[in-house]
Amino acid sequence: MVKWYEGKSCTCCGRPLGEISRMQRHPGLMSPELRIFEWRDLQPEKIPRVLETHQPVCWHCLVAETHTW
């Protein structure tokens, strides 16, 4: 998962994702249908397909887009 984000920027805001460590907040994903979600919402068997079809989203945009007010 971490290597997939290397050299990529957030699809929403354009912010470079930079290095991701286990201790920091993790970025999310955007589906082709523009649905934003966290990795924990993904079934493990779907990971290979997701890596081919989804785009990266930074943690800030993930929270902004998925937070229920």
> What secondary structure does DSSP assign to the chain, as a single string?
-HHHHTT-B-TTT--B-----TTSPPPEEE-TT--EE-GGGS-GGGHHHHHHH-EEE-HHHHHHHH---
Rounded average pLDDT over 33-57: 92
Beta bridge partners of 57: 28
pLDDT recorded at residue 60: 92
Strands of 21-60 (E only): list them: 28-30, 36-37, 55-57
Rounded average pLDDT over 42-59: 92
Is pLDDT at 68 greater than 80 in this prediction? no
Is pLDDT at 33 greater than 90 in this prediction? yes
Structure tokens given for 69:
């007010």
Q: What is the mean pLDDT of the chain?
A: 88
Confidence of residue 19 (pLDDT cuts 50, 70, 90): confident
CB atoms closer than 10 angstroms to residue 59: 17
